[in-house]
């Protein structure tokens, strides 16, 4: 907050500070801070995590690690977006960016307030009731009443009037009150004449008397100023008069009208300034209309800021129908049928830490904000209001100190005591305020050259492929209407400035990720100006929410990330945020157990004996957990029955789940289980008992079945309670430490039979809230259970689900060629540790393609890692090879689970369009393993060399030991041209097993890579040479070591290194 006492101001002047505590510039009387010139990039770290507000410019600034997000409250009450990008000093007056706003022909101008005559004219109809007149006058009186305290504090006289000249809005409000008061007096005269037996008409003399009363006496206004105003003859105003009465004992107060009533003049600051730390936020609720503060002097350039309409501005939040023709942030229908809802700034609050959800607390997922009091995040709440209806929108921004990120969400509140009056000719039945559309955020971008929009799209078994399209004039929409975030689209997008082949490491990127798992919409529209608006939130096509008086609705949270160095830095930010603040805290930096899932090994043909047989072999190769998949419950022999009957099939498991779990645990293995709680089969006990629990409209004998199943209506409390009770019983009855929550169909015929007809637009969202409720219960009751969610594979891979479980099944397609693209695209927004990935058998069950066990291992390595193999049928040499891979995963997992992921080669670049190269660097420099690298060839181009692989994320001057793991033993016979698989000695990519190189050489010169056939692969582990222990002396190695002998014998296991980092 600004220095608000004379003592504080005196201290500020003594230190060379101006009135607001900023360093004074003699030429501008302390209004501007001129920073000394600095070489290179300016250090903005002291502002990281802070929320600042400048009272003079009315500019808000939210600072991340190296980022700033800024907007201002303009003269019309709009929130004008100014800038989002690399941090700049808070002393730069960013209002100059408003000069980009050039009004085009036929663009609506700024909003004006005019005198509403319609309601006043209604009052003079013959059938008007005195009560209606009083209501009309009272409504107008209340509109002015808010100005009273301000006027009283200013005193009276011409001095106050000169400081704050009358504005149009306040003038119109006073006209309305004055006119209503006059007409009320007219009605009183009519009634008195009728009582006296006279004609009801009012004479000209009486009208003149009324006008004089309105200005001088009974109307409560004293005129000293500029004469008549408008058709009702209001004089100039100076101060509040509490005198005057009409209608017997009813008193009326006409507030003094002055510039303080205008939104543009009523700002107070929330910025502390001191020598050491500059601007500091204070947690305080401020009303911009409560204390008037003057604008800059007339000679300031800010007076020339363009006064343009909403369609010409970049906005933070956009309504519908008031001159902005771009997609709105929200849409509302009021009791009177109106859909116009112009919002203006009302107040703002700065809160220490991340403000948790209030109305959606416990109902929707959200990011945490770090340890309270440590300054990891801070929050700004800006309240906007529809002044006529009182509907309020709280725009909530939370910024993170250590990340270039902020979150946004919105709360809509319908007050109890302020409603739109419904005209008499309209029925009041079934009329209520209704939200038709509510985005979680709107972000406007000024015109940019060659901007690319990046999304994640695909299909079942082919999810989240990275798609890039250049934005042109028009609208691009990606959305889901399937009840979940879907296989087809993902609630993520990024806007980038670099050309497609340079996206990874160069250029600005602005990204949005929605923390929601239901129907969503992202729309990007480029206007004729070249400006772009991006909206993201709940899909309005399946959303209608009723807001009775006193109720509120809170939107899902959206995570906004900026990067100045391409997609890679953006991904690092998302990965760090989601690992640290979204995934349940107890799973942070943990390594998941190596599991074997029974699905592809047995499908529905599971039994106590078969699972134990599989587990015995699995335990010998290093597996740590057995997961019992589909087929264990009810009478489940195939996909046609028993969903919903969550009790053991005693024919298959005679000792029940406790019996099989006990025996699995006795082998030293953990136990997990698969469920599909959202579904029900018609052939089930649950459906026979509760057919009405399905999503389907009663009376319509029409419905779709998907995978032979129906969807339970999770918007019903009794359904939620049923599922909670069944899962509680199951998890409490046995030592189950892993739960796979699946969902294997889309939603259709969505109708909530337990909900009233006018609330059917709420069912989709209430369904998702119901699912979240059950998942939240499981997390609270069974914290030891690791939850992996799935949706027919990767059909609900989103930030919302990560709030309840640390991992999500990435896809039902486990073919390595398909998985490379799926996991590559998924990594744009979601951390490697969250991607469920397994080694499966070949030919692959989804594609029938062949691949080596090594390549399947390396692809699964960059994920949670698990098996979906029938190890009972594997040969002994295959089991030995598999055992070495599992051992290596356990060694490398601590690096992969928490490291920074680099997409070194990507198909978006033409020179490596048929190859992927992934790298994870460990952020902890005290660990021996510095990085893990894998390279995959998807399509061979005979005779063409691969480029050298330039690594990233290393220290130029540090020395690394580069070790190739699991080298190829295949080579091409130059005499015959045949590729001879496994016929020769190790084919070291670097000529030998290990070399030592500086980070500079590895990043700039790169590594030679020689791959031969489709699906070929290689991998390297980088060790910090300074930390590798000398096995003989037990002391760290120093200096450079000679290159290792090329005659080192082939091996799948490392030699000569002590793995003390495990």
Judge whether residue 39 has pLDDT over 70: no
Residue 334: how many CA atoms within 13 Å on its side-chain side?
Answer: 19
> Among all chains, which residue has been given the structure tokens 């309601």?
119
CA distance 769 to 773: 6
Q: According to the model, what pLDDT value does residue 137 have? A: 62
The first and second tokens of residue 1028, run together, are: 């590798």
Which residues, other chains included, contact 705 with Cβ-Cβ below 8 Å and sequence gap of 6+? 682
The first and second tokens of residue 698, run together, are: 């009663």
Judge whether residue 661 has pLDDT over 70: yes
For strand 532-538 and strand 489-496, is the pairing parallel, antiparallel, or unpaired? unpaired
Q: What is the DSSP string of 998-1032?
A: EHHIIIII-B-----STT-EEEEEEEEGGGPBPTT
Q: According to the model, what pLDDT value does residue 910 have? A: 66
DSSP state of 421: P
Closest CA to 470 of 489, 497, 446, 490: 497
Q: What is the DSSP string of 119-184?
A: HHHHHTSTT--HHHHHHHHHHHHHHHHTTHHHHHHH-SSHHHHHHS---HHHHHHHHHHHHHHHHH
Phi-psi region of 178 (alpha: psi -120 to 50; beta: other; left: phi over 0): alpha
**Do 477 and 525 meet the contact criterion of CB atoms below 8 Å apart?**
no
CA distance 454 to 829: 11
Q: How confident is the model at residue 16 (pLDDT cuts 50, 70, 90)?
A: very low
CA distance 905 to 922: 19
From first CA to last CA, the distance across the chain in angstroms is 50
Digit-coded pLDDT (tens) for 908-926: 776 677 899 999 999 999 9
Mean predicted confidence (pLDDT) in 587-615: 97
Least confident of 377-381, 942-946, 1045-1049: 1045-1049
Neighbour-count burial of 137, counting CB atoms closer than 10 A to its CB (0-12 exposed, 13-18 middle, 19+ buried): buried
The first and second tokens of residue 316, run together, are: 């933070």
Phi, psi at 476, each rounded to 5°: -120, 130
Phi-psi region of 67 (alpha: psi -120 to 50; beta: other; left: phi over 0): beta
DSSP E strand boundaries for 402-550: 405-413, 433-445, 452-457, 465-470, 474-479, 489-496, 509-515, 520-526, 532-538, 545-547
Q: How confident is the model at residue 907 (pLDDT cuts 50, 70, 90)?
A: confident
CA distances from 829 to 456, 572, 788 (A): 10, 8, 18
CA distance 566 to 507: 5
For helices 816-826 and 853-861, the axis angle rounded to 10 degrees is 10
DSSP state of 768: H
CA distance 266 to 346: 10
Q: Which of 645, 713, 812, 912 is the catalytic position?
A: 812
Say whether 666 sits in a helix, a strand or coil: helix
Phi, psi at 557, each rounded to 5°: -90, 145
Q: How confident is the model at residue 432 (pLDDT cuts 50, 70, 90)?
A: confident
- 106-110 long-range contacts (CB < 8 A, ≥24 apart) are 107/308, 107/309, 107/311, 107/312, 107/323, 108/309, 108/310, 108/311, 108/322, 108/323, 109/307, 109/308, 109/309, 109/323, 110/76, 110/307, 110/308, 110/309, 110/310
Judge whether residue 746 has pLDDT over 80: yes
CA distance 30 to 17: 7
**Do 147 and 260 meet the contact criterion of CB atoms below 8 Å apart?**
yes
CA distance 257 to 140: 14
CA distance 233 to 428: 37
Report the percentage of the chain scoring pLDDT > 90: 66
Digit-coded pLDDT (tens) for 960-996: 999 999 999 888 888 888 888 776 789 999 999 999 9
Please state the separation of Cα 401 from the chain's center in Å: 17
Least confident of 192-201, 630-639, 704-713, 963-972: 192-201
**Which neighbouring-strand residues pair with 1018?**
935
CA dihedral (616, 618, 624, 629) positive or negative: negative
CA distance 952 to 921: 8
DSSP state of 315: B
Closest CA to 816 of 911, 938, 982, 939: 938
DSSP state of 40: S
Phi, psi at 786, each rounded to 5°: -80, 120
For strand 994-998 and strand 377-385, is the pairing parallel, antiparallel, or unpaired? unpaired
**Which neighbouring-strand residues pair with 399?**
378, 406
Mean predicted confidence (pLDDT) in 931-940: 95
Q: How confident is the model at residue 571 (pLDDT cuts 50, 70, 90)?
A: very high
CA distance 598 to 117: 75
Q: What is the 3-state secondary structure (H, E, C) of 18-48?
A: CCCCCECCHHHCCCCCCCCCCCCCCCCHHHC
Q: According to the model, what pLDDT value does residue 143 have? A: 58
Q: According to the model, what pLDDT value does residue 286 have? A: 33
Average pLDDT, the chain: 82
CA distance 1036 to 1027: 6
Mean predicted confidence (pLDDT) in 175-179: 62
**Do 969 and 983 meet the contact criterion of CB atoms below 8 Å apart?**
yes
* H-run or E-run covering 877: helix 876-898
DSSP state of 455: E
Q: Is 508 a known active-site residue? A: no
Digit-coded pLDDT (tens) for 212-260: 555 444 333 333 333 322 333 333 322 222 222 223 333 332 332 232 2
CA distance 205 to 88: 66
Judge whether residue 144 has pLDDT over 60: no
Judge whether residue 380 has pLDDT over 70: yes
Judge whether residue 152 has pLDDT over 80: no
> Among all chains, which residue has been given the structure tokens 């004008």?
80
Angle at 579 between CA 935 and CA 822, to 5 degrees: 40
Radius of gyration of the chain (CA): 34
Closest CA to 500 of 911, 790, 83, 31: 911
CA distances from 68 to 50, 404, 523, 562, 977 (A): 10, 8, 24, 9, 58
Q: According to the model, what pLDDT value does residue 172 have? A: 58
Q: Is 812 a known active-site residue? A: yes
Q: Which of 167, 576, 645, 742 is the catalytic position?
A: 742
Of residues 877 and 36, more confidently modeled: 877
CA dihedral (1034, 1036, 1041, 1046) positive or negative: positive
Judge whether residue 293 has pLDDT over 60: no
Say whether 350 sits in a helix, a strand or coil: strand
Least confident of 23-27, 84-88, 948-952: 23-27
Q: How confident is the model at residue 301 (pLDDT cuts 50, 70, 90)?
A: low
**Do 566 and 504 meet the contact criterion of CB atoms below 8 Å apart?**
yes
How many helices (DSSP H) and strands (DSSP E) are in the chain? 19, 42
CA distance 302 to 299: 8
């Amino acid at each position: 907050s600004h220095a608000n006492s004379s003592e504080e101001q005196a201290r500020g002047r003594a230190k060379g500070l101006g009135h607001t505590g900023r360093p004074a510039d003699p030429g501008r009387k302390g209004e501007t801070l001129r920073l000394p010139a600095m070489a290179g990039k300016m250090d903005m770290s002291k502002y990281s995590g802070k929320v600042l507000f400048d009272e003079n410019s009315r500019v808000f600034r939210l600072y991340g690690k190296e980022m700033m997000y800024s907007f201002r409250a303009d003269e019309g009450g709009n929130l004008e977006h100014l800038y989002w990008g690399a941090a700049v000093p808070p002393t730069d007056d960013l209002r100059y960016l408003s000069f980009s706003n050039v009004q085009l022909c036929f663009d609506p101008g700024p909003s004006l307030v005019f005198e509403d005559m319609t309601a006043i004219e209604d009052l003079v109809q013959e059938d008007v009731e005195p009560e209606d007149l009083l209501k009309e006058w009272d409504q107008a009186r209340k509109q002015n009443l808010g100005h009273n305290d301000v006027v009283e504090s200013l005193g009276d006289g011409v001095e106050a009037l000169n400081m704050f000249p009358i504005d149009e809005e306040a003038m119109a409000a006073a006209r309305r009150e004055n006119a209503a008061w006059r007409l009320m007096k007219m009605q009183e005269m009519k009634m008195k004449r009728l009582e006296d037996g006279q004609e009801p008409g009012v004479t000209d003399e009486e009208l003149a008397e009324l006008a004089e009363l309105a200005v001088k006496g009974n109307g409560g206004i004293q005129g000293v100023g500029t004469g008549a105003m408008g058709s009702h003859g209001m004089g100039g105003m100076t101060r509040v008069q509490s005198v005057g009465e009409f209608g017997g004992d009813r008193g009326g107060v006409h507030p003094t009208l002055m510039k303080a009533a205008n939104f543009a003049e009523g700002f107070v600051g929330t910025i502390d300034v001191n020598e050491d730390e500059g601007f500091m936020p204070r947690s305080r609720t401020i009303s911009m209309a409560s204390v008037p503060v003057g604008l800059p002097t007339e000679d300031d350039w800010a007076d020339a800021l363009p006064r343009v309409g909403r369609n010409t501005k970049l906005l933070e939040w956009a309504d519908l129908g008031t001159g902005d023709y771009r997609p709105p942030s929200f849409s509302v229908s009021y009791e009177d049928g109106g859909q116009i809802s112009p919002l203006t700034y009302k107040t703002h609050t700065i809160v220490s830490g991340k403000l948790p959800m209030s109305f959606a607390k416990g109902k929707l997922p959200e990011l945490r904000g770090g340890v309270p009091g440590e300054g990891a995040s801070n929050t700004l709440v800006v309240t906007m209001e529809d002044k006529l209806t009182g509907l309020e929108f709280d725009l909530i921004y939370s910024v993170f100190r250590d990340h270039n990120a902020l979150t946004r969400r919105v709360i809509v509140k319908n007050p109890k005591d302020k409603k739109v009056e419904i005209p008499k000719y309209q029925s009041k039945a079934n009329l209520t305020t209704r939200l038709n559309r509510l985005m979680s955020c709107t972000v406007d971008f000024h015109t940019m050259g060659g901007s690319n929009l990046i999304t994640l799209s695909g299909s079942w078994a082919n999810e989240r492929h990275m798609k890039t399209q250049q934005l042109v004039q028009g609208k691009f929409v990606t959305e889901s209407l399937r009840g979940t975030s879907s296989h087809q689209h993902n609630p993520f997008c990024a806007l980038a400035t670099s050309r497609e082949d340079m996206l990874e490491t160069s250029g600005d990127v602005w990204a949005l990720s929605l923390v929601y798992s239901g129907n969503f919409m992202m729309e990007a529209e480029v206007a004729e100006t070249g400006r772009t608006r991006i909206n993201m939130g709940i899909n309005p096509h399946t959303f209608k929410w009723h807001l009775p008086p006193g109720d509120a609705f809170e939107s899902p949270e959206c995570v906004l990330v900026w990067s100045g160095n391409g997609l890679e830095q953006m991904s690092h930010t998302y990965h760090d945020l989601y690992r640290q603040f979204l995934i349940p805290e107890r799973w942070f930096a943990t390594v998941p157990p190596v599991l074997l899932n029974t699905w592809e090994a047995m499908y529905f043909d599971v039994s106590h004996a078969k699972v134990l047989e599989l587990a015995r072999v699995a335990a010998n190769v290093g597996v740590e957990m057995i997961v019992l998949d589909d087929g264990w419950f009810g009478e489940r022999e195939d996909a046609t029955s028993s969903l919903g009957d969550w009790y053991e099939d005693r024919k298959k498991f005679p000792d029940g789940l406790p019996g099989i779990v006990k025996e699995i645990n006795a082998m030293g293995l953990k136990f997990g289980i698969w469920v599909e709680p959202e579904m029900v089969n018609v052939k089930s006990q649950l459906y026979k008992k509760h057919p009405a629990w399905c999503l389907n409209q009663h009376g319509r004998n029409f419905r779709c079945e998907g995978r032979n199943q129906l969807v339970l209506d999770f918007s019903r409390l009794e359904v939620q309670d049923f599922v909670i009770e069944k899962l509680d019983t199951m998890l409490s009855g046995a030592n189950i430490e892993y739960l796979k929550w699946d969902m294997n169909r889309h939603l259709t015929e969505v109708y909530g039979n337990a909900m009233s007809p006018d609330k059917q637009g709420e069912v989709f969202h209430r369904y998702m809230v119901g699912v979240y409720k059950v998942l939240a219960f499981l997390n609270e009751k069974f914290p030891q259970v690791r939850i992996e969610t799935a949706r027919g594979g990767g059909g609900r891979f989103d930030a919302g689900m990560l709030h309840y479980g640390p991992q999500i099944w990435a896809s039902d397609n486990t073919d390595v060629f398909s998985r490379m693209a799926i996991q590559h695209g998924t990594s744009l927004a979601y951390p490697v540790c969250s991607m469920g990935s397994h080694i499966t058998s070949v030919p692959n069950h989804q594609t029938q393609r062949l691949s080596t066990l090594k390549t399947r291992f390396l692809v699964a390595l960059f994920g949670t890692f698990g098996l979906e193999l029938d190890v009972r049928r594997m040969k002994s040499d295959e089991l030995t090879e598999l055992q070495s891979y599992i051992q290596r995963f356990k060694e490398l997992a601590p690096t992969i689970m928490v490291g920074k992921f680099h997409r070194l080669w990507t198909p978006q670049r033409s020179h490596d369009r048929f190859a992927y190269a992934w790298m994870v660097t460990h952020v902890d420099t005290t660990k021996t393993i510095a990085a893990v690298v894998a390279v995959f060839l998807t399509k061979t181009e005979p005779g063409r060399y691969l480029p050298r692989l330039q690594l990233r994320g290393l220290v130029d001057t540090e020395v690394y030991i580069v070790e190739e793991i699991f080298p190829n033993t295949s080579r091409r016979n130059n005499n015959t041209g045949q590729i001879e698989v496994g016929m020769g000695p190790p084919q070291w990519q670097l000529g030998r097993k290990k070399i030592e190189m500086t980070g500079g050489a590895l990043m700039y010169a790169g590594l030679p890579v020689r791959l031969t056939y489709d699906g070929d692969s290689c991998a390297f582990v980088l060790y910090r040479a300074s930390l590798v222990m000398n096995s003989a002396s037990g002391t760290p190695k120093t200096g450079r070591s000679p290159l290792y002998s090329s005659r080192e014998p082939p091996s799948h296991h490392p030699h000569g290194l002590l793995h003390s980092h495990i």
